[in-house]
Chains A and B, each alone.
Chain A
Amino acid sequence: MENIIIEMKNVHKSFGKHQVHKGINIKVPQGGITVILGPSGTGKSVLLKEMMGLLMPEKGEVIVDGVDITKISKVELVNIRKKFGMLFQNAALFDSMTVYDNVAFPLREHTKLKEKQIREIVLEKLRLVGLKDVENKMPSELSGGMRKRVGLARAIVLEPKIILYDEPTTGLDPIMRDVVDDLIYNTQKQLNITSVVISHDIDSAFKIADYMAMIYDGVTVLNDTKENFKNSDNPYVRQFINGSKDGPIKMF
């Protein structure tokens, strides 16, 4: 594979007695969409949070842009995080602020731009995610799909190198799912960034992915290009693609 921007090496993580990760190895190549698949409850969101240092693994390395973020100070970690944008599962908008203030928040925090310039950027990003005339609404007045788009606008407003998506299509109707898939795809192409998507939605994954990975029972099953993934004869991957209850993956 080409330039690797995020690499997780032998990552272990547990919560109390529950071992979530028992040796995850994933490589995220630069400038493409990597979809990480896995059944529900296998610690996919935890994986995403480890990538930007919101959670720290007990063992293993997380290398972002050449820096092992498990070994750096809090201050350096904050700087690394500026390379990331993250879209949370439920968008995690600040519910005490308007849509406008939500999207403007990172700009006000990290740039010295004048309010006029901030306004231009915010409206442009909102347009990019297909929203207009919502600036003065509160997050609670928006539908789930709109909230996700505002969340995405907030995530890309500082033009990060990497965007992480935590189950972007979960809980959306089929049409909205397609819209969000398109959004992820177009955002990546327009901004030429690296995207990492966590999902258990195999259809969307095949639609948008350049690279794919699958985790099950705390380890990486397969991490390859989309074509190789599709044609893999790994029994775990086959079972997941076919959506069958029979196979090596046990849900009980």
Chain B
Amino acid sequence: MNRVLSLIGAPILNLALESGRIFLLLIDSILWIFRPPFRWKLLIKQMEFIGANSISVIILTGTFTGMVFAFQSYIGFHKFGAEYMVGTVVGLGMARELGPVLSAIMVAARAGSAITAEIGTMKVTEQIDALHSLAVDPVQYLVTPRILAGLLVMPLLNSIAVFCGVVGGYFVGVKILDINRTLYLQYMYQYVDLSDLYNGMIKSVVFGLILTLIGCYKGMAVSGGAEGVGRSTTESVVLSCILILVFDYILTAFMF
């Protein structure tokens, strides 16, 4: 009986423990945003790393998603002769859902994993202890700049993804599938609102927080040498992606 209970209890305890630690790290790093010293240089560096260096990936992701989406929705609309609605659906889909989610998942895979690997390596080579020993708080020095950069940069990346998706959708819809250009654009203008864009922007801010926070947390939690760094990096990407999808649902339900 005891073994059965502990079999159920252990993972639940673990989950509670881990979410508690992530939450504490979040609080700690947010407090450091408002307390000096402010790390402008590190912030800019992280914005470059998380943001600027992700642009090519985001352009590709956005464009191809928009293009595929145009093809797929065309099949449906073609059945009742409403092909000109493809633009609307691509615009709405990219702005509200695909832009924020896919760009966040790509950035989690690219930058989130790198954050975990970098901080994790610092942990196992005692560089985090060295920071402590030099009276510098690692959360303030390493975590806060990354989280802040994630918050600022994700909405920008999202807007690039949405723009590229809409352009890709237009290309497929109008140039390849020969939908009437005027109708395509007219319906898109008419039905895609600024509020749809805001909606996606809010999501991508939250996703930016998730992927940097989890990246940092998993890095700080590394133990056990090179193998540990590898394990944490995998866990970081998996957990970030899952949380992005879960919070996508929660945010969608709230802003419905």
Q: Do A and B come from one complex?
A: yes
Encode contact with B along A80-105: 1 for CB under 8 Å, 0 otherwise.
Answer: 01101110111011110000000001
B137 beta carbon closer than 8 Å to chain A: yes
Chain B 117-134 interface 0/1 with A at a Cβ cutoff of 8 Å (1 = within):
000001001110110111
In the bound complex, CA of A135 to CA of B252 (Å): 53
Assess A81 versus B135: contact at CB under 8 Å? Given A90-B125, A92-B125.
Answer: yes
A-B contacts, 11 of them at CB < 8 A, read A49-B129, A78-B135, A79-B135, A82-B135, A88-B126, A88-B129, A92-B130, A105-B134, A106-B135, A110-B135, A155-B133
Number of residues of chain A lying within 8 A (CB) of chain B: 23
Q: Indicate if the CB atoms of B133 and A54 lie closer than 8 Å.
A: yes
Q: Does A109 interact with chain B (Cβ within 8 Å)?
A: yes
**Distance A10 CA – B125 CA, assembled complex (angstroms):** 30
Task: List B contacts of A94 (CB < 8 A).
Answer: 122, 127, 130
Chain B residues, Cβ within 8 Å of A85: 133
A63 contacts across to B, CB distance below 8 A: none
A86 to B134, CA, bound (A): 8
Q: Let me know if A52 is at the binding interface, CB within 8 A.
A: yes
Residue on B with the closest CB to A106? B134
Q: With both chains docked as a complex, state the minimum distance between the C-beta of A162 and any C-beta of chain B, in angstroms.
A: 11
Complex interface: chain A residues within 8 A of B136 (CB) = 109
Interface residues of A (CB under 8 A from B): 49, 52, 54, 78-79, 81-82, 84-86, 88-90, 92-95, 105-106, 109-110, 154-155
Q: Is there contact, CB below 8 Å, between B135 and A88?
A: no
Bound complex: CA of A94 vs CA of B131, how far in Å? 9
Q: From residue A93, how far is it (CB to closest CB) to chain B in Å?
A: 8
Q: Is the CB of B137 within 8 A of A88?
A: no
Shortest distance between the CB of A251 and any CB in chain B (Å):
24
CA distance A110 to B127 in the complex (A): 18
* In the complex, the 9 A-B pairs of residues with the closest C-beta atoms, listed nearest first: A92-B126, A92-B130, A86-B133, A81-B135, A88-B126, A82-B135, A106-B134, A78-B135, A92-B127
A131 to B: closest C-beta gap in Å: 18
Contacts of B129 in A (CB 8 A): 49, 54, 88, 92
- Min Cβ gap B34→A in Å is 15
Closest to A155 in B: B133
CA distance A155 to B129 in the complex (A): 13
- Closest CB of chain A to B111's CB: distance in Å? 16
| Known contacts A88-B130, A95-B125, then 10 further A-B pairs from the complex at CB < 8 Å, ordered by chain A residue | A49-B129, A54-B133, A84-B133, A85-B133, A86-B130, A89-B126, A92-B129, A92-B130, A94-B130, A154-B134
Within 8 A of A (CB), among B89-120: none
A102 CB, nearest partner CB in chain B, Å: 9
